[in-house]
Chains A and B, each alone.
Chain A
Amino acid sequence: MTKKHKYERHRSAFPGEAYVHVSHESGLEIYVYPKKHSAAHVLLTVEYGAGDRAFRPCPGAPTVVVPDGTAHFLEHKMFENEDGGDAFEDFAALGADANAFTSSTYTEYCFTATEHVYRALGILLRMVREPHFSEGSVAREREIIAEEIRMEEDDPWQALYAGTMRALYHEHPLRIPVAGTVDSVAQIGPEQLRACFDTFYNLRNMTLFVCGDVSPSAIVRTADRCLAPAPPFTAERIRPAEPETVAARRFYREMEVAQPLFTIALKDRHISPDPAVRLRRQCVYDILNAVLLSSSSPLRTALYEEGLIGPQLSYGFSHCSEYSYNEITGESDDPEAVYTRLMEHVGRLKKTGIPPDAFERCRRAVYAASVRSFEDTVETAQTLADFVLDGEEMFDEPRAVLSVTREELDEALGTVFREEAAVMGVVAPPRR
């Protein structure tokens, strides 16, 4: 019997790079990106993350509020089988290497396999639909997660990120540590996990991505075999409104580090509901960041030569429908001086405009990065997921980069690099 699924082909400008989107009748959205590599990467996302701390299972139902870290806890427990065994072992028996992650907005389950991809997919599709947790196994998991939290709390980069997000946002879920705290995790029991599972683990709230030497029709046949149409997805997420201002100008903490670590973050208010507009804005800021901060920039050169920053400086524009900020992270004995110099440099560029040669070089660099994102199956699947979950088309990116103009960068300089939008987080060695 042929089932009625909707197929849609997406082609890139590069030979051989294409994927298929299938709206499966079960409600699951499926994306298959054939690539002749040995290892296939499969990932399944559930649009349920650490940010979903309050929700109504269906319209009119009472609001459910869960302790911080529940989504991540549930991710851990989904690997438990009916007999108390572990799904990791089922994947391993097929030679597949499984893993899972939770972010602020979604939970991801994934595996990499060089054989038995379809059978391993069957395990994955079963696993996310059948939770098994007992009081005892949940109690044991609490201990494991507490150690995970302590490990993260000892990581100064993690502390820097968390503190910077708390400075940037008043209410947004990026403030919340994904794994929760040792105290919040202590309040999580089987009933909360069950409530979250029942609300969010619906095929209509999930997306499957496969990249590897696979056939789209065989992937769909596996889904046909494993999945029945899901009931309507009715959950309502309750997200607090986020003011446009920053919550605090500075975050400072002392930890065992050799040299102060800093992040300068700039809150961006301009989030378009149109995915194509967001994609373009992402390209503009990627180029702008390279002009301002890559190793060829006069600012970076000066800061490095004066010993104000080390050779490593990372920067990026995080822009999606849920949040938007620009971020610069590095190590410096004097982070405040770095901040001042950055703003002065931006001030000068606002007057002179972006130099044409720097613009061309940096546009090429960002173009290369967009082509590199489909070099291996893990990265391709992940990139595709990031684009799809935000409603964007990954193959539009290289073209969009090449069409960005210098005038767009000039305009962008003024909208994000503002004193009142900026926060700085610092993790510094203890003053002894």
Chain B
Amino acid sequence: MERIRIAPGVYLNRMATDRFHSDYVSLRFLLPLRERDAALHSLLPYVLRRGCAPYPTLAALTERLQMLYDARLAASASGRRGEIQLLTQSAWMLDGSVAPAGEDIFGETLAVMRDLWFSPLTENGVFREDYTESEKKTLTDAIRSRINDKSVYAAMRCRRVMCQREAYGASTLGREEDAAAADPAALTKVHRRVLTDAPCEIFCIGRGDADRTARLFADAFGAWPRTENPFPKTEVIRSAPRVRHVTDKMDVRQGRLSVGFRLGLTEADGCRPLLLMLNEIYGASPTSKLFMNVREKLGLCYDCSSAADWLKGVMFVHCGIADGKRRAAEEAILHQLDEIREGRITVSELDAARRSIRSALRSLSDGPDSIESWHLGRRLAGQETTVEEEIERVMAVTRGEVAEAARRVTADTVYFLSGTEAGKAGGDDEEA
């Protein structure tokens, strides 16, 4: 992946490959994740999509994209890495080589993407009132709908409780009250700030002409007074002083247990391969300790897995359990971490984890989005690592190193979304 500067704070990452029949281009604006700004960040792509100067309605925009063989323009501010909110606009289109008449889908789609961001529809210098109001409802509905998926909801609540004094606790969708308070002037200000100040990584992957992409966005950004800013920083808390227990009650059949941990290490410490191994052995695969023991041996749950944010240095375990099994599940989850701390990792566990990660890393090249995700992740962590180097380092991680890393991990928060039956029995948990 070659990276070239095309404007202050704007970099084009290019990779030519004929592996796909489609082309992929994305703009990744890097914004500090902040509770009070998140709603406006989320609202922006919704409103931009409603209309720009050449395509003043969503219907007109969609008509244009359908003629371009359903070129997919997707925008969202829901991505997060550490305490960075990713405002992403991507274009994924068929390559002209598979279009029935060899149309220039690539160039035409990029032009639409540029128009969306650089020629928005305004009235008196601000976004249109009606579009803004309408999209505020869309955002509010999305914020409220988070309750629909209980596992996602429990994970979000756990993160919020654990990181209530850190930016990380914020949801990328933002708060309902901030969505309600948004107006065209504030949104227009955010749009300007994004185009002038936010670091932007552009990715161009596939058969599409990267020089053309560079010229188009160099011109577009060139019309704005850009400032080159560093990437937003992520606050890292290395350990938890004590374990906090919080329970919410809801009318559900199955309780959801989420446990949040401080890893003590981050990718910026150069520890990603080690943390990948720890997470893999602990709970990231069907041969992990959590799956094999908490599910298979103890039969406590159907799903039980761990996931981590390497930039922030946190890890979460999520599982769905019957209400009566909450204590047993918590003990089992913590016990499996103790097993790793004490070095009780079999040769086959170690080997399976190495192979699984190697396979996942090798598979990255199979999709433009996974190629992009890898490079963006390393860029954000300030690590210059190739996939091959990463594989080598993963293969060299030892049992002792994993155990030592696990000993740095501290449990911070145990969150339980309880069914109403348990609620009647009375809680044994302290409230945050």
CB-contacts of A238-261 with B (<8 A): 256-259, 261
Residues A154 and B252 in contact in the complex (CB < 8 Å), given A39-B359, A295-B58, A307-B137 = yes
B380 CB contacts on chain A under 8 angstroms: none
Q: Which residues of B contact A (CB under 8 A)?
A: 19-22, 46, 57-63, 66-70, 94, 98, 100, 134, 137-138, 141-142, 144-151, 250-254, 285-287, 291-292, 295-296, 299-303, 320-322, 348, 351-352, 355-356, 358-359, 362-367
Judge whether B356 and A97 touch: CB under 8 Å. yes
- Give min CB distance, A145 to chain B, whole Å: 7
Select A94's contact among B254, B355, B365, beta carbons within 8 Å: B355
- Give min CB distance, B291 to chain A, whole Å: 8
A256 CB contacts on chain B under 8 angstroms: 147-148, 150, 250-252
A112 CB contacts on chain B under 8 angstroms: 359, 363
- Give min CB distance, B199 to chain A, whole Å: 28
Judge whether B252 and A364 touch: CB under 8 Å. no
CA distance A313 to B285 in the complex (A): 33
CB-contacts of A256-298 with B (<8 A): 256-259, 261, 290, 294-298
A369 CB contacts on chain B under 8 angstroms: 70
Judge whether A295 and B98 touch: CB under 8 Å. no
- Give min CB distance, A2 to chain B, whole Å: 34
Residues A375 and B22 in contact in the complex (CB < 8 Å), given A144-B295, A310-B141 = yes
The reply on A163 being an interface residue by CB < 8 A is no
CB-contacts of A130-183 with B (<8 A): 140-141, 143-145, 147-148, 150-151, 153-157
The reply on A422 being an interface residue by CB < 8 A is no
B348 CB contacts on chain A under 8 angstroms: 89, 93
The secondary-structure label for the interface of chain B is helix
CA distance A141 to B297 in the complex (A): 10
Judge whether B363 and A153 touch: CB under 8 Å. no
In addition to A98-B286, A112-B363, A147-B302, 20 A-B residue pairs with Cβ atoms within 8 Å of each other are: A38-B363, A39-B363, A86-B296, A88-B291, A92-B287, A95-B356, A97-B359, A99-B286, A143-B299, A148-B303, A259-B141, A259-B144, A290-B66, A296-B66, A307-B134, A361-B67, A364-B70, A368-B69, A369-B70, A375-B367
Select B301's contact among A114, A147, A301, beta carbons within 8 Å: A147
Q: Which residues of A contact B (CB under 8 A)?
A: 14, 36-39, 86, 88-89, 92-99, 112-115, 140-141, 143-145, 147-148, 150-151, 153-157, 256-259, 261, 290, 294-298, 300-301, 304-305, 307, 310-311, 331, 357, 360-362, 364-369, 371-372, 374-377, 402, 430
* 9 A–B contacts, CB within 8 A, in A order: A38-B363, A39-B366, A88-B287, A99-B286, A147-B301, A154-B254, A257-B145, A310-B138, A365-B70
Of chain B, the residue at the smallest CB distance from A367 is B69
Residues A89 and B58 in contact in the complex (CB < 8 Å), given A36-B19, A144-B295, A148-B302 = no
A297 CB contacts on chain B under 8 angstroms: 59
Residues A258 and B362 in contact in the complex (CB < 8 Å), given A150-B320, A307-B134 = no
Residues A258 and B58 in contact in the complex (CB < 8 Å), given A93-B352, A144-B299, A148-B302 = no
A360 CB contacts on chain B under 8 angstroms: 67
Residues A97 and B285 in contact in the complex (CB < 8 Å), given A92-B355, A257-B145 = yes
A156 CB contacts on chain B under 8 angstroms: 148
Judge whether A95 and B355 touch: CB under 8 Å. yes
A37 CB contacts on chain B under 8 angstroms: 19, 365-366
- Cβ-closest 10 pairs across A and B: A95-B355, A258-B144, A296-B62, A365-B70, A361-B66, A92-B352, A148-B302, A150-B254, A143-B299, A295-B62
B20 CB contacts on chain A under 8 angstroms: 375
Judge whether B352 and A364 touch: CB under 8 Å. no
- Give min CB distance, A406 to chain B, whole Å: 15
Judge whether A365 and B320 touch: CB under 8 Å. no
Judge whether B59 and A301 touch: CB under 8 Å. yes
Judge whether B148 and A257 touch: CB under 8 Å. yes
B61 CB contacts on chain A under 8 angstroms: 295
Judge whether A371 and B98 touch: CB under 8 Å. yes
Residues A89 and B352 in contact in the complex (CB < 8 Å), given A39-B359, A154-B253, A376-B366 = yes
- Give min CB distance, B22 to chain A, whole Å: 6
Of chain A, the residue at the smallest CB distance from B296 is A86
Residues A365 and B252 in contact in the complex (CB < 8 Å), given A145-B302, A295-B62 = no
Judge whether A375 and B66 touch: CB under 8 Å. no
CA distance A258 to B253 in the complex (A): 18
- Give min CB distance, A301 to chain B, whole Å: 5
Judge whether B362 and A114 touch: CB under 8 Å. yes
CA distance A13 to B252 in the complex (A): 51
Judge whether B359 and A96 touch: CB under 8 Å. yes
Judge whether B322 and A147 touch: CB under 8 Å. yes
Of chain B, the residue at the smallest CB distance from A305 is B134
A38 CB contacts on chain B under 8 angstroms: 362-366
CA distance A361 to B287 in the complex (A): 47
Judge whether B356 and A92 touch: CB under 8 Å. yes
User: Which of B66, B67, B68, B300: most chain A CB closer than 10 A?
Assistant: B66
Judge whether A147 and B148 touch: CB under 8 Å. no
CA distance A305 to B137 in the complex (A): 11
CA distance A357 to B146 in the complex (A): 38
A310 CB contacts on chain B under 8 angstroms: 138, 141-142
Residues A294 and B321 in contact in the complex (CB < 8 Å), given A14-B98, A154-B150 = no
A366 CB contacts on chain B under 8 angstroms: 70
CA distance A5 to B90 in the complex (A): 46
